[in-house]
Structure formats: C-alpha cells, structure tokens
Amino acid sequence: MLKINLAFLGLILSLVQIYAQSFMIDSTKIYKKKTLSLDEVNILSSYYHQEGNHSAITGGIGTEKLSDFANVIDLKLNKYNGQGKKFTYGAEIGVDYYTSASSDKIDTKVSSASSSDVRFYPSINYSVDNEKTGVVIGGNIAFSKEYDYTSIGGGANFTKKSKNENTEFSAKANIFLDTYSQIVPSEFRANLPSRQQKKGEIGNAARNSFDLSFTLSQVLSKRFQMALTMDIAYQSGLLSTPFHRVYFDDQSLLRETLPGTRLKLPIGVRANYFIGERFIIRSFYRFYQDDWGMSSHTAHIELPIKVSSFFSVSPFYRYYKQSKIDYFAPYQEHKVGAEFFSSDYDLSGFDSRFYGIGVRHTPFKTIANLFAISQVELRGALYERSDGLSAGIVTLHVQFKGF
C-alpha cells in the first residue's frame, strides 16, 4: 500500500551518491585476492515525513500526512581468478515501516489496516569484470513484499570501457512483475460477498514494467567529465490505483481509471567539473515525456567542498517542473462520461524544489584489522511543491571497506 510522493526512492538514491573524493588504503594491503573477500558494506537509514492536503484516496482533497522509516544493508564480495577477471557478488536487504493518515481513509467507517505497513525488499546481484577487454557483464534478481503488493524482478547489465578508460558505455535491462490485491474504498463494497466486504478486496491484478537504459560517459579532461543517459520504460496492466476515489462535476463517485499501458522516454545529461582539489561542481538535467501527456524538466546542482582531508560538505538544489497528464482533474471537476480519470496530484501539473546539505567524514578507522569505516555521511533535505505538499528527509549512510 506504500505510495509515497516525490518519487521517494529517487530521493533516497540522490541522498546517498558516492562522490568522486577517493579513499586510499595502505599500499601494503592492495593486492588482488583469489579467494572470496569482503569488498564493502553499506548501511543506510532514512526518515521521511510529508504533509499535504490533496490526497488521491479521498478524491484530491484531505490529508497526505505520511511518515516512513527505511533501513537498507548492502553487501559486496569479490574475488579474482588470476586471469584478469574480477567476480563481484552482491546482496541487499531493505525494510521500510510507514504510517499514512490518507491510506487510513480507504475505509471511512473503521480504522484501516493500511494505515501502517511494512515493506520488505531483498535483492542479489552478480557481475564479471574482464580487465583485459574492459567488458563487465552482470545480472540481478529482486523481490518486494508489502500488505497488498508483491513484486518479482530481474535484469542484466553490460558495460564496455575503452583501453584508456576515458570512455564507457553501459546498457541495462530490467523487468518487474507485480501483483496487486485490488482493495476498493468502503463505498464500493456493498455488493461484495460478506467475506470480502471487510477487507474490500476484489481480486488480484497484474502490473508489468520493462526498463531499458543506456549511458555514455566521457572524460573530456582531467577536470571535466560528462555522461549522456537515455531510458525507455514501458508498463502494462493495472496502472491505476483501485482505492483512489474520483468525484465528478455532478457529485457522482467512481474509482480511478487509467489506460492499461504507459510509455516513458527520459533523456539526460550529467556534467562534473573539478575546481582544484577542494571544489567540485556536479550538475544534471533531464527531460521526460510519456504517452499520457506528461512532460517534465529536472535540473540539479551540487557543490561538494572538501573542508579537510577527512571532511566535506555538499549543498545541493534540485528544481523540477511537470505538466499534468491528459486524464487529471481536481475534486469534482471531471466530466461525466470520460473514459479515463484521476485526481491524483502526483499526476497534476506542478513545480517543486528539493534542497539540502550533506556532511561526509572519511575516517578510515580500522576495526580488528579486518575492515575499516571508510565513510560516514549525514544528509538532510526539504521538499516543497507548488500544490502545497511539503516534506523532509534525513539520511545516514555508513560504509565499511574490506582489505
């Protein structure tokens, strides 16, 4: 049932980017192990809270208050075969707990089970890096489970580096097969069998997502790097949310209905410029278009500043603007007889600002001569949207490096 605004996953990822400042290990410890060994461990915890008054569950009006506490552990192991190939094995496990005042309004008569939930999402990945040819091939399998939703996914990735490693091309393909339990608002349960009325479930539905992405990275000079990105995403199945209400201009009520397919085409450019040893300019722009009529622009800038050998600060700012889909209208403004309709303000036209700062410490503190704390980073950010939605997020990231 977890449907957090702001493309919540994207915000978390943007808060835990690993920056270009390198972390050095004593030269006596640098060698290529042929046995499986620990490469790194990443531990991430974040707290997110939002407030707003345009809940899609109650037809585009009502509270959007929501809190989410997320925890992720990521483990990477590797080994070399002595013939120029590096094998990397990764595993990740995440657990989110959230409370949502808006989800509690699915059932207007009693407190809904969906007012809080836990999401569990493990994944594993594998890659082979041929250092002689510059080719990396890998794959991944992922799983996610919460109250009304189950997802199984997998993918493959390919990377080719030039001989001087100044140019890199990568391609990734992923597929996600989701199953949703269709939970409907209490107003639509009168004709359901008695065993279904309490939970409001009318059966399961499928949603499938297919993603293909390409990235071309180029080192243009010792100080300047650029990357071009392009994605193609296609979805099919149940793309509307069964418990979203839509009120029409004659005060009638229906459940949200959207097309069964969606094609998304984002393209972007990333540029990093190093100003001496202490300053970096990181910038990103993305244009997005889909066949539901939505288009958007994203501009992001970040300015990591190296305060000392062990500390850096990174202020950042992101501006985002999107147009509404063809099927959106506010509360009681939809025309009767429309084929598709939604009052979900995530699909409306708005602009937003996301800004904050990160503080990063690279202590390289050895523990039991087995691994070291390579970095500790605390990042905080605020989000403001033109429709009144506001949010804040705090993220703590701790990384350990093996020897």
Round to whole Å and give the CA distance between 59 and 105. Answer: 11
- Fold type of domain 8-402: Porin (2.40.160)
Under a CB-based contact definition with an 8 Å cutoff, are residues 135 and 116 in contact? no
Round to whole Å and give the CA distance between 10 and 288. Answer: 15
Residues in the chain: 403
Round to whole Å and give the CA distance between 375 and 365. Answer: 9
Under a CB-based contact definition with an 8 Å cutoff, are residues 397 and 360 in contact? no
Question: What pLDDT tens digit does each residue of the chain (403 aa) get?
Answer: 544 444 444 444 444 443 333 333 333 344 566 688 889 999 999 999 999 999 999 999 999 999 999 999 999 999 998 788 999 999 999 999 998 877 778 877 655 555 788 999 999 999 999 989 999 999 999 999 998 889 999 999 999 999 998 999 999 999 999 998 888 898 888 877 766 666 678 889 999 999 999 999 999 999 999 999 999 999 999 999 999 999 999 999 999 999 999 999 999 999 999 998 889 999 999 999 999 999 999 999 999 999 998 999 999 999 999 999 999 999 999 999 999 999 999 999 999 999 999 999 988 777 666 778 899 999 999 999 999 999 999 999 999 988 6
Sign of the C-alpha dihedral, residues 265, 126, 91, 373? negative
Reference 55, options 117, 15, 114; nearest CA is 114
Q: What is the pLDDT of residue 102?
A: 73
Round to whole Å and give the CA distance between 356 and 383. Answer: 9
Q: What is the pLDDT of residue 25?
A: 36
Nearest 10 degrees: Cα torsion 239, 229, 45, 124: 80
**Residues 6 or more apart whose Cβ sits within 8 Å of residue 242:** 180, 182, 183, 184, 202, 205, 255, 256
pLDDT digit string, tens, across residues 179-188 = 988 888 988 8
* The pair of three-digit structure tokens given for residue 338, joined into one six-digit string: 């429309």
Q: What is the pLDDT of residue 194?
A: 67
Under a CB-based contact definition with an 8 Å cutoff, are residues 60 and 74 in contact? no
Q: What is the pLDDT of residue 15?
A: 46
CA-to-CA separations, 31 to 1, 76, 190, in angstroms, rounded = 47, 17, 69
Q: What is the pLDDT of residue 186?
A: 85
Q: What is the pLDDT of residue 107?
A: 78
List, in sequence order, every beta strand (DSSP E) within 101-220: 116-130, 135-146, 149-161, 167-183, 201-219
Give the H/E segment covering residue 8. helix 8-15
Q: What is the pLDDT of residue 18?
A: 38
Round to whole Å and give the CA distance between 364 and 379. Answer: 20
pLDDT digit string, tens, across residues 237-258 = 999 999 999 999 999 999 999 9
Q: What is the pLDDT of residue 27?
A: 37
Q: What is the pLDDT of residue 351?
A: 98
CA-to-CA separations, 86 to 31, 131, 133, 307, in angstroms, rounded = 12, 7, 12, 35
C-alpha angle 90/95/98, rounded to 5°? Answer: 150
Q: What is the pLDDT of residue 366?
A: 74
Supply the Cα-derived Rg of the chain in whole angstroms.
23
CA-to-CA separations, 204 to 86, 179, 183, in angstroms, rounded = 43, 7, 9
